């Protein structure tokens, strides 16, 4: 579904923008806290970036996890080998992860003379970093890739979850979807009233959270993302069984905008960043999928967005490194914060490396970072992600599927008469979706 891929591109762009604004190129160094809602000391163009991207904080990661469950369930082939599923998933996501993690290890060592402790390296290598709230482990190499630690956990659970959910009635799936939303509100609230972390070592700002535990528990603890993942799975199964009353994309946009406004205005932060946008995002995903099924208008199917969606996983994997490694890692006596301003000062373009740049230069740097990261992501996708994924799919096809029951060999899709009763078609033909073509999901 091309629209879902285009949506993935926008989500990755929002993550990039949310991290780029931390550079505050137009603001004098030290004049304003990075993520403080107080605008005092922040230059106009940095204020624009802050307001533009922080408003969307509840969207991109939540979109990724709901979409992940939705796509995997939608293209699922009943009766397929669990080993085959794991081979394809790991072959799709781990090679890029390994390359970027190795690059982060070498860059921290060579450029910053900060060789990462072997225990942290092992935690990242085996995708275990998401299971601890301690930021020195969680963000020890490539900070953004805690999401893959979550995804791998969800991939491991997916075959069992799918086996269970396929036996649910439509009402059962609806109840499960509702329970996921309710629990995603309830558990972070209870955790915020109960736990904290002693001896916190901060590498990233808490962005409004009271302590490091609830910051981690709400955003990065792998089981907490199970609610969004299962919600996506339930939506896919309901859609395949003939879900009624899916809105058009324009109507879904209105619901999304209203939901985002209410989420930012009224919800506490532990609910805002995890739970507040689950329903609007779910409705938007359903609307986009329906538009693609029926050939109706969708702004997410434009060629640039589809292209960027195809490399969005590689883009996400490398983007934070370009930002981190253009910051000054070893403190300078002149107070310099980033290399772009150091280079401009050395060239005599600005008076010293701590002054704020003009707004136009800030936006020019934004475009330059985006262009360089996109080029790197394309190369990574072309020469690492796609070829190794193709090899993994070929190997997975050689793995025999277990014996299937007559029911397992068939799957529900939307009935041709539109009545909502499931029709049955052979497995592997889910309305034209190919299980081997699933896009990267983080």
pLDDT tens, position by position, 369-393: 999 999 999 999 999 999 999 999 9
Tell me the torsion sign for CA atoms 420, 424, 427, 430.
negative
Mean pLDDT across 168-175: 96
Question: Domain range holding 183?
Answer: 2-325+358-437
**Least confidently predicted of 49-58, 129-138, 282-291, 420-429:** 420-429
Strand, coil or helix: 314: helix
Over residues 68-94, the mean pLDDT reads 95
Q: Taking 60 as the threshold, does the pLDDT of residue 342 lie above it?
A: yes
pLDDT for the residue 416: 36
Does 337 reside within a domain? no
- pLDDT of residue 312 exceeding 70, the answer is yes
pLDDT at 96 over 70: yes
CB-count burial class (<10 Å; 0-12, 13-18, 19+) for 279: middle
The average pLDDT across 157-173 equals 96
Q: How confident is the model at residue 341 (pLDDT cuts 50, 70, 90)?
A: very high
> d(Cα 150, Cα 65) in Å, to the nearest integer?
9
Q: With left for phi above 0 and alpha for psi between -120 and 50, is residue 309 left, alpha or beta? A: alpha
Question: Is residue 339 a part of any domain in this protein?
Answer: no
Determine, yes or no, domain membership for 347. no
Give how far the C-alpha of residue 277 lies from the chain's centroid of Cα atoms, to the nearest Å: 14
Residue 363 lies in a domain: yes
pLDDT for residue 391: 97
Q: Which residues contact 417 (CB under 8 A, 6 or more apart)?
A: none
In a domain, 344, yes or no: no
According to the model, what pLDDT value does residue 221 have? 94
- Interval 159-167 mean pLDDT: 96
CA dist 101 and 383 (Å) reads 16
Q: pLDDT (tens digit, 9 = 90+) per residue, 100-148?
A: 999 999 999 987 778 899 999 999 999 999 999 888 999 989 999 999 9
Quick check: 429 pLDDT over 70? no
- pTM (2 d.p.): 0.89
pLDDT at 421: 34
Looking at the structure of the chain, the number of domains it has is: 1
Q: Is the pLDDT of residue 413 over 80?
A: no
Higher local confidence (pLDDT), 213 or 88: 88
pLDDT of residue 189: 82
pLDDT of residue 205: 72
Q: Which pair of structure tokens corresponds to residue 369?
A: 């970072």
Least confident of 103-107, 250-254, 283-287, 417-421: 417-421
Instruction: State phi, psi for 328 to the nearest 5 degrees.
Output: -75, 115
- Residue 400 included in any domain: yes
Please tell me the predicted confidence (pLDDT) of residue 401: 80
pLDDT at 404 (0 to 100): 61
Confidence of residue 36 (pLDDT cuts 50, 70, 90): confident
pLDDT over 70, % of the chain = 89
How far is Cα of residue 243 from the mean position of the Cα atoms in its chain?
26
pLDDT band with cut points at 50, 70 and 90 for residue 410: very low
pLDDT of residue 188: 84
Residue 345 lies in a domain: no
pLDDT of 192: 74
pLDDT score of 269: 86
Gap between the Cα atoms of 150 and 68, Å rounded: 11
Residue 418 gets the label, from left (phi > 0), alpha (psi -120 to 50) or beta, of left
Average the pLDDT over 345-360 and give the result: 95
In a domain, 155, yes or no: yes
**pLDDT in the model for residue 415:** 39
Supply the pLDDT for residue 198: 60
């Amino acid at each position: 579904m091309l629209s879902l891929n285009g949506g993935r591109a926008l989500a990755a762009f929002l993550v990039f923008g949310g991290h780029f604004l931390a550079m505050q190129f137009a603001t004098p160094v030290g004049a304003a806290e990075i993520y403080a809602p107080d605008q005092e000391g922040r230059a106009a163009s940095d204020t624009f970036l802050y307001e533009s991207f922080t408003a969307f904080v509840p969207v991109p990661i939540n979109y990724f996890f709901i979409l992940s469950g939705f796509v995997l369930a939608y293209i699922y082939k009943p009766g397929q080998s669990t080993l085959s599923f794991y081979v394809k998933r790991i072959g799709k996501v781990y090679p890029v992860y390994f390359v970027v993690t190795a690059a982060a290890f070498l860059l921290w060592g060579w450029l910053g003379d900060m060789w990462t402790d072997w225990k942290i390296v092992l935690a990242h290598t085996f995708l275990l970093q998401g299971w601890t709230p301690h930021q020195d482990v969680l963000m020890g190499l490539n900070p953004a890739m805690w999401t893959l630690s979550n995804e791998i956990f969800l991939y491991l659970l997916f075959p069992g979850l799918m086996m269970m959910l396929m036996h649910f009635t439509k009402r059962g799936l609806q109840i499960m979807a509702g329970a996921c939303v309710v629990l995603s509100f309830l558990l972070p609230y209870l955790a915020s009233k109960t736990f904290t972390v002693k001896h916190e070592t901060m590498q990233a700002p808490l962005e409004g959270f009271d302590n490091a535990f609830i910051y981690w528990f709400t955003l990065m603890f792998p089981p907490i993302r199970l609610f969004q993942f299962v919600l996506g799975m339930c939506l896919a199964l309901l859609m395949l069984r003939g879900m009624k009353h899916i809105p058009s994309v324009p109507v879904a946009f209105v619901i999304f905008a209203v939901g985002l406004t209410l989420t930012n205005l009224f919800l506490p932060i532990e609910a805002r960043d995890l739970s507040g946008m689950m329903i609007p995002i779910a409705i938007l995903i359903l609307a986009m999928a329906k538009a693609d099924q029926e050939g109706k208008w969708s702004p997410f199917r434009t060629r640039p967005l589809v292209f960027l969606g195809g490399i969005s996983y590689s883009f996400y994997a490398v983007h934070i490194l370009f930002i981190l490694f253009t910051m000054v890692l070893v403190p300078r006596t002149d107070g310099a914060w980033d290399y772009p301003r150091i280079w401009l000062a050395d060239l005599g373009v600005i008076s010293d490396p701590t002054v704020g740049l003009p707004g136009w230069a800030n936006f020019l740097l934004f475009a330059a970072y985006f262009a360089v990261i996109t080029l790197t992501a394309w190369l990574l996708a072309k020469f690492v992600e796609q070829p190794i994924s193709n090899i993994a799919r070929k190997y997975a096809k050689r793995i025999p599927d277990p014996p299937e029951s007559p029911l397992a060999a068939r799957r529900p899709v939307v009935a041709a008469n539109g009545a909502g009763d499931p029709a049955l078609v052979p497995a592997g033909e889910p309305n034209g979706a190919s299980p081997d073509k699933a896009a990267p999901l983080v």
